[in-house]
Structure 1
Amino acid sequence: MAKIHMSLQGKGGVGKSFTATMTAQCNELRGTPTKNIDTDPQNATFHAFTGLNVQHINLIENKEINTRKFDELIEIIAPLEQDAVIDTGSNSFFQLTNYLISNQVPQLIKDMGHDLIIHTPVTGGQAMLETLSGFSQLAQQLPEEAKLAVWLNPYWGPIEHDGKTFEQMKAYRDNKDRVTAIIQVPDVKAETYGQDVSDMLKKNMTFSEALADASLPIMVRQRLKIVRDALFKQILASTVV
């Protein structure tokens, strides 16, 4: 049985590809590398991480799902013994979600003997309400065969509304039975840890590549290691990998 990890969120630029790269890296670090696929037709961020050997399949043509390309994706998934990580584009959120539901893809993946885990980020700041809406749509529309992992990403600000944390918000309380895991991305200081992680991601480097890069200052690598260990501990504790 393989775990098929798929990132989905209707709001762009909120850390969706981040969830894919971190899930893939966490598996690789523990000795279980994944089959990595990027389906984003415009911003193939996941594919840019050459150290993760990511295959690119464009699922969207003329704003519609290319059924033949989706067939290709399923043929790749079907025989897998290793886990897979699939990143998707925010501009394909509605089309892909509807396609998964109308074609009973979660049930199909279960019938293959695999687990489907949908990873969706929820952020603070201006995008919080929109990402909460995306989470709610997934929780309410996807069938129970699709498990849901929520990534709380505080990079743009605390995930709070009217003094309530995510677990206290109506969006979560109404859908908590659908949530398999909550992964709290470490809230790092922007001027040090946050800047180091941001610089690493802008270079499309994995943690392993950055920590092995002798051109980086020792303390930068130390801070990156601390962030990596804190995040990967969260992922492993969530039992989704």
Structure 2
Amino acid sequence: MILQGKGGCGKSYISSLIAQYILSKDKPLDCVDTDPVNSTFAGYKALNVRTLHLLDDDQINTRNLDTLIEWIVSADTDMVIDNGAATFVPLAHYIITNGIADLLAEMGHELIIHTVIAGGQALVDTINGFAQLAKQLPDDISFVVWLNEFYGKIIYQNKTFEEMKAYKEVKNRISSILTLPQVKEETYGLDIEEMLKLRKTFDEAINDPSLSIMTRQRLKIYRTNMFNQLDLAAVI
């Protein structure tokens, strides 16, 4: 489950990366997009993402949250769930007050929270969002932290993420740290942005003959680097 209270920090992109990685291992997968504002994840047609909006007229739809848990429990697959910024607070509250992590564990499922720390203008907000999550969610929920350097390095007050208080206080609960690296804007950056605009997976873009040979080569290199990180993180 991808959770972060800041919009536009890369949640849907990360959801798509995790989904593509799991599928590359020939594992069955179920994907869900709960973002009521921007259903970006659902735009990836190749991933067969289901939508389940958790807000009705700015109010949390508890019945749809119940439905989400039913989907998780009944799935005999890995599941990737992308959540919007608008549902960040009510979804975290629902997980806490309903003992969702324990319930899922009893039924043979493990809840892992993926969250994003983004460089640039979103840095402080995403650090605070992560700290809020770690403080509120039960201690037995583990985190995978993604450092998104696309808009800038993760440096705050001359400290890297692993030197920050937000990390040190909960480092025993962080199972992995992955990095979306800063790339050359005019090459890799442009290639990735164009791919994301079209909601294409890496496989679709790499096999698209309308793209230049070097664009496809750079996307292939980037995908390999990200999948290698996911291998080391033992995400599945």
Q: Give the Å deviation of 1:55.
A: 0.3
Report the RMSD for the aligned CA atoms in angstroms: 1.0
Q: Give the Å deviation of 1:19.
A: 1.3
Residue 12 in structure 1 maps to residue 7 in structure 2: yes
Does the 8 A contact of 2:119 with 2:148 survive in 1? Answer: yes
> Which 4+ runs in 1 deviate beyond 4 A?
none
TM-score of the pair, normalised by structure 1:
0.95
Partner of 1:131: 126
Number of corresponding residues: 236
TM-score of the pair, normalised by structure 2:
0.97
Q: Give the Å deviation of 1:200.
A: 0.2
Partner of 2:53: 58
Does the 8 A contact of 1:117 with 1:240 survive in 2? Answer: no
Matches of 1:33 and 1:187 in 2, distance apart? Answer: 31
Matches of 1:103 and 1:114 in 2, distance apart? Answer: 16
Partner of 1:69: 64
Deviations 1:101-146 (A, max 9, x none): 0111111111111111111110111110100001111111111332
Does the 8 A contact of 2:151 with 2:182 survive in 1? Answer: no
Partner of 1:148: 143
Deviations 1:209-232 (A, max 9, x none): 001111110100000001101111
Does the 8 A contact of 1:116 with 1:145 survive in 2? Answer: no
Matches of 2:198 and 2:125 in 1, distance apart? Answer: 28
Q: Give the Å deviation of 1:44.
A: 0.2
Q: Pick from 189, 194, 199 the counterpart of residue 194 of structure 1.
A: 189
Letter in 1 for 2:113: I
Residue 122 in structure 1 maps to residue 150 in structure 2: no
Does the 8 A contact of 1:147 with 1:179 survive in 2? Answer: yes
Partner of 2:200: 205
Q: How high is the sequence identity, in percent, across the aligned residues?
A: 47
Q: Give the Å deviation of 1:62.
A: 2.8
Partner of 2:159: 164
Partner of 2:34: 39
| Secondary structure of the structure 2 residue equivalent to 1:8 | coil
Does the 8 A contact of 1:11 with 1:134 survive in 2? Answer: yes
Matches of 1:50 and 1:207 in 2, distance apart? Answer: 13
Unaligned runs of 5+ in 2: none
Partner of 1:3: none
Query: Which structure ranks higher in relative contact order (CA pairs < 8 Å, sequence separation ≥ 6)?
Result: 1
